[in-house]
A and B are shown apart, each in its own frame.
Chain A
Amino acid sequence: MNILRVTNVSKSFSNNQVINNLSFTVKAGNIYGFLGQNGAGKTTVMKMILGLYSIDSGEIYVNDTQVSFGQNKTNQFIGYLADVPAFYDYMNAREYLKLCGDISKVNNVNSRITEMLELVGLDDNKTKIRGYSRGMRQRLGIAQALLHKPLLLICDEPTSSLDPIGRIQILDILKNAASETTIIFSTHVLSDVERICDHVGILHEGKIALDTDINTLQSKYNNHNIQLTFSSATDLEKFIANTTFEYMTEDLQLLITNANLKDVYNQIATTQLYPTNLELVKPNLESIFLEVTNV
């Protein structure tokens, strides 16, 4: 079952077409990595799903209910975590979550708040939110987003402002939360997607350039990378001079792309230039992303 359906959606700001006939779906239970370069329009898409931005054309459905700009009928199904969530800083975490719970009409709100504070690892004390670090604010953001048990959790670059430890902690919390909710996770940090997502959509030039599960993606793309390491720069240069492969070099290493192993062995035999190491490089999302977006 699709929890989110985006169909032929377009959006312009003044004369700048940010989203161009965008279509994609998110299945219930997925952790959907929504990738794109900075400025690709990821936040715009998320705000259109939330009904915070109007759409020029197309339709968006959340849990089979159409999203209407300015209305919030569909927001009962959604939890939202902004990149830098803003709170009422004069409140403590429990007071803020109580306000959120009352607005969402959460049953047994006090016990649910306790549950959420435990999930995100925040102390249930009187500390005002204004005294929270970025990481703590992000944890509180997750707690408020999950408080009403949403069917869909939308996270807009939730790790972008965090240090490496904070980033890993937030990703782990999201991974745990995935047992109860579908997650859309926008980011330009590819390692974050590789860590928790099971499905990837790459937004490029206002459209989904690629939409597939992460395993299929890694087996389909960029699976001919072969890395050779030579003992000297001279050998490396001679090897390059005779090659017809596409390649990248770094120090004494040569990374051959889009070639098969047999051809590489043939060139080694022909040139008599033997590498000290030959390795098949496992494709990573970064190289796939670069390939898909032609950067």
Chain B
Amino acid sequence: MFKSYSLKEIAELTRNYKLLIILLAFALIGFSNPIFAKLTPEILATTGYQIDIPEPMLIDSWIQFYKNIATLLIIYIILFCANIPNELTNNSLINMVTRGLPRSTIILSKFTVISVLWIISYYLCFGITAIYSPLLLDGSLPNIFVASIFPAVFGILMISLMLLGAITTKHIIGSLLVPFGFYGLSSLLSISDQLAEYLPTHLMSSLSLITDEATISDYTIPLVITLMLISFIIAVTITIFNKQSI
């Protein structure tokens, strides 16, 4: 059942061109990271201002990557926020549930497909940046791959929150408010240095690993907390869905 329903989710992504659009967008950003890093001094020079900008290096491409990935995550969540509310409002889930598809399978299938696509898209962007940047920019950097794991996991947390919001409110607004509300609250709490290093949002600052301003152990606790939160949120989402009238 899990496989059948997951294949249906993938077919839906293919038929409505969402899969193509997402992969193209992430690939485009992957190419743009080193190109913008390389061209930024020249672009600024055309403005006529006399700014003393150092020669762009490899790190500038990765700074671009970490800036863009947060934006891409927001767009990704927006693209999927209607998935469950639409199925609930147009009653297409009823035929599935009434023929024996467990509600937990619906949540787990959607979570798996959306998360796997996130990982594939994210690493497509990462891979293109990683391959293309050394061709345009000089320098060598540590921990590039390890650092990339943390924003990817944070993305999965946002996806789980989106599903929770969608099931709880049965509305697109809810499926946006819950993840972005969490992101906002977590960012607000990050003002406190003592709290910041434990919060999931800390995972989005893993650029520090590449710039050698942090070590991998600095991210262990927020990573574990985030993984636990993901499991908890999915379990809560399934529990709520099991008790809902549809």
Contacts and interface: CB of A to CB of B under 8 A. Distances in A.
Contacts of B97: 52, 72, 75
Interface string A53-97: 110000000000000011110011011101011111011000100
Given A47-B245, A72-B102, A90-B16, A80 B95 contact: yes
A99 interface: yes
Given A70-B103, A76-B100, A103-B1, A86 B95 contact: yes
B11 A80 contact: no
B100 A86 contact: no
Nearest to A77: B100
A148 B98 contact: no
Q: By CB atoms of chain A within 10 A, which of B11, B12, B98 has the most? A: B98
A103 B5 contact: yes
Interface of B: 1, 3-5, 8, 11-12, 15-16, 90-92, 94-103, 242-246
A102 interface: yes
* Contact residues of A: prevailing secondary structure: loop
A80 B8 contact: no
A174 interface: no
B99 A88 contact: no
Interface of A: 47, 50, 52-54, 69-72, 75-76, 78-80, 82, 84-88, 90-91, 95, 99-100, 102-104, 141, 144, 148
B100 A144 contact: no
B241 to A, nearest CB: 8
B14 to A, nearest CB: 9
Given A88-B12, A90-B12, A90-B16, A104 B99 contact: yes
A103 B101 contact: yes
Nearest to B97: A72
B99 A86 contact: no
A103 B96 CA distance: 8
Contacts, number: 76
Contacts of A84: 91
A87 B95 contact: yes
A160 B184 CA distance: 48
B101 A72 contact: yes
A24 B171 CA distance: 37
A103 B99 contact: yes
A75 B4 contact: no
A206 to B, nearest CB: 18
A78 B97 CA distance: 11
Contact of B99 (A47, A69, A100): A100
A91 B242 CA distance: 27
B100 A75 contact: yes
Contacts of A72: 97-98, 100-102
Contacts of A103: 1, 4-5, 96, 99-101
Contacts of A86: 90-92, 94-95
A100 B93 CA distance: 11
Nearest to B239: A70
Given A52-B246, A88-B12, A80 B94 contact: yes
